[in-house]
Amino acid sequence: EDKVVQSPLSLVVHEGDTVTLNCSYEVTNFRSLLWYKQEKKAPTFLFMLTSSGIEKKSGRLSSILDKKELFSILNITATQTGDSAIYLCAATSGTYKYIFGTGTRLKVLA
């Protein structure tokens, strides 16, 4: 059965800290790994990763995929209170399937 596991489940840090969120997957016919940020509404897209070892960056956020070890990490540097959210990762399988993890709840304290 396909599965995606995220860790930690929740995390509390102070502004300015750096955090690393983990996502491991066991998915047949794997195609890509996606990261989303969810505040009090719908998930918003952050990154899509398809190739191993190539880092994607957007401001203070970055992410990388390891297709050999079947995991991805999402790094957030110099965290701000606005980074407080649930971070979801999802693996795609085949041409229409997305498998989501349960998410990591991040709280950044001022």
Partner 1 sequence: NAGVTQTPKFRVLKTGQSMTLLCAQDMNHEYMYWYRQDPGMGLRLIHYSVGEGTTAKGEVPDGYNVSRLKKQNFLLGLESAAPSQTSVYFCASSYSPRGQGALTEQYFGPGTRLTVT
Binding site for partner 1 (CB under 8 A): 9, 31-32, 34, 36, 41-45, 48, 50, 88, 90, 92, 95-96, 98, 100-103
Q: Of 79 and 103, which CB lies nearer to partner 1 in the complex structure?
A: 103
* Residue 108 to residue 80: CA distance in whole angstroms: 6
Shortest gap between Cβ of 12 and partner 1 (angstroms)? 17
Shortest gap between Cβ of 89 and partner 1 (angstroms)? 10
Contact 103, 87 (CB under 8 A): yes
Shortest gap between Cβ of 16 and partner 1 (angstroms)? 28
CA separation, residue 103 to residues 22, 29, 30, 43, 106 (Å): 10, 22, 19, 11, 9
